């Protein structure tokens, strides 16, 4: 009988050891604490880029021409090695160009900027409804593969964020299938102990976004819990740290949050709580949200989990939703962004999540934006005349230094660097 029990214990120990074989023991980035990470959509295509998705995410209602686009910011493409002519025209009548996320050269440009300006890394977004098959899966795998390559080259932290938006009931099986694909085929967490996959609490970090919202999603806490349990406990693919993306009012079940106390049970299982703030306040309304962040952090400390707030530079999605006012939440020369950064750090935040690196659809991008966008039926938000196109990259890097106490904490927004 003792021999039989010993055999069972040996098998269990082997299973645990096998789980470790799926991930490298550690990483060059051992904790999210002290880092400023950004979301990275990587979802833009251009006609002729080889991705077979035409002008994906630039277009609107199946068209891409003046009067039909989803983007409110026009990227500055002057530094991209490969760009594509669009149907839009600049004020002088010349053609307007765009980049494609599918091109490796675009990804390298972005990671080079991250290194240059001190942005610590990115969460590569992975919408579960778009990565199951066909051109969508191919595109997302190509973008992630390129991002892994250039994160290593430019020493930037990287991980994925599963966005569950649009997922059906029972969709937890799709997330599990995709994570196995990333581990087995792309070896995302098994590239040696000097890899740049972001670790936290000694384990590779994976983000799962979209749990607890009350906007009539077809999935719920049941699917969320199954995903969490798999990523934590699976003997082969588990052993992960988890960041859970939740609504703004997750703690007190207000406004945007499903009124189910079981959400808090899920949050106690994960490593990092990440509430979504984009569009929830403007500069005048922010002080109330700073108090919310402090109370959120207190709850997390009591329940022994970490916390990362969202900060965003501004918001505009008029071209996507014409009834919405353009430049709905103004950037105000960086003051809105900086007020959130300073407020979060003052409230005790040990890490920050920036929404987003490249989200020109909703006007939250920190990448370089054109100060000379197309003219005509579609209009675009531009920075103020005295604000350079790289200002929000600069502020993000400065925020990282401030978070790590490499420079003093200041409520005054740093002035643009003169060139």
Contact 374, 77 (CB under 8 A): no
* Pair of tokens at residue 306: 């970490």
Alpha carbon 292 to its chain centroid, in Å, reads 22
Alpha carbon 155 to its chain centroid, in Å, reads 18
H/E run at residue 229: helix 221-233
DSSP assignment string, 275-289: E--TTS--TTTHHHH
User: Looking up tokens 């979209």, which residue turns up?
Assistant: 210
H/E run at residue 222: helix 221-233
pLDDT for the residue 4: 54
What phi, psi does 7 have (nearest 5°)?
-65, -40
User: Looking up tokens 């098994």, which residue turns up?
Assistant: 190
Q: Which residues of the chain have pLDDT under 50?
A: 1, 10-19
User: Looking up tokens 């991209």, which residue turns up?
Assistant: 80
Q: CA 248 → CA 110, 131, 161, 166, 331, distances in Å?
A: 29, 27, 18, 19, 21
Q: Which residues pair with 37 in a beta bridge?
A: 121, 353
- 264 Cβ contact list (under 8 Å, min separation 6): 303
pLDDT, tens only, 285-311: 999 899 999 999 999 999 999 999 999
DSSP assignment string, 92-152: TSPEEEE--TTSHHHHHHHHHHHHHHT--EEEEEEEGGGSSSHHHHHHHHHHHHHHHHHHH
Contact 245, 205 (CB under 8 A): no
Helices and strands, number each (H, E), in the chain: 9, 12
pLDDT for the residue 247: 98
pLDDT for the residue 19: 41
């Amino acid at each position: 009988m003792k021999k039989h029990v010993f055999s069972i214990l040996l098998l269990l120990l082997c299973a645990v050891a096998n789980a470790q074989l799926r991930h490298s023991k550690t990483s060059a980035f051992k904790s999210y604490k002290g880092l400023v990470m950004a979301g990275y959509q990587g979802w833009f295509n251009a006609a002729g880029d080889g991705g077979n998705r035409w002008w994906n995410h630039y277009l609107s209602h199946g068209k891409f021409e003046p009067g039909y686009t989803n983007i409110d910011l026009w990227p500055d493409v002057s530094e991209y090695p490969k760009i594509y002519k669009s149907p839009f025209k600049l004020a002088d009548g010349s053609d307007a160009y765009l980049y494609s996320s599918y091109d490796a050269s675009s990804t390298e440009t972005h990671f080079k900027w991250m290194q240059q300006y001190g942005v610590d890394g990115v969460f590569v977004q992975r919408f579960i409804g778009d990565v199951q098959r066909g051109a969508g899966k191919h595109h997302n795998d190509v973008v992630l593969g390129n991002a892994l390559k250039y994160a290593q080259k430019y020493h930037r932290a990287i991980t994925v964020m599963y966005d569950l938006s649009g997922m059906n009931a029972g969709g937890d099986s799709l997330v599990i299938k995709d994570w196995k694909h990333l581990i087995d085929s792309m070896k995302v967490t098994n590239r040696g102990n000097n890899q740049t996959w972001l670790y936290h609490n000694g384990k590779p970090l994976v983000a799962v976004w979209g749990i607890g919202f009350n906007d009539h999603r077809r999935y719920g806490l049941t699917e969320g819990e199954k995903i969490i349990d798999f990523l934590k406990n699976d003997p082969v693919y588990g052993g992960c740290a988890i960041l859970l993306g939740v609504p703004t009012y997750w703690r007190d079940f207000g406004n945007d949050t499903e009124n189910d106390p079981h959400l808090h049970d899920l949050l106690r299982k994960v490593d990092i709580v990440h509430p979504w703030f984009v569009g929830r306040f403007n500069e005048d309304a922010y002080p109330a949200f700073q108090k919310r962040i402090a109370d959120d952090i207190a709850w997390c400390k009591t329940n022994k989990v970490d916390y990362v707030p969202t900060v965003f530079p501004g918001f505009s999605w008029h071209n996507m939703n014409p009834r919405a006012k353009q430049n709905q939440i103004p950037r105000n020369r960086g003051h809105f962004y900086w007020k959130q950064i300073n407020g979060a750090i003052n409230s005790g935040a040990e890490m920050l999540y920036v929404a987003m690196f490249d989200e020109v659809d909703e006007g939250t991008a920190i990448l370089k934006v054109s100060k000379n966008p197309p003219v005509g039926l579609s209009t675009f938000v531009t920075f103020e005349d005295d604000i350079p196109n790289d200002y929000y990259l600069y502020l993000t890097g400065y925020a990282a230094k401030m978070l790590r106490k490499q420079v003093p904490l200041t409520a005054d927004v740093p002035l643009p660097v003169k060139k």
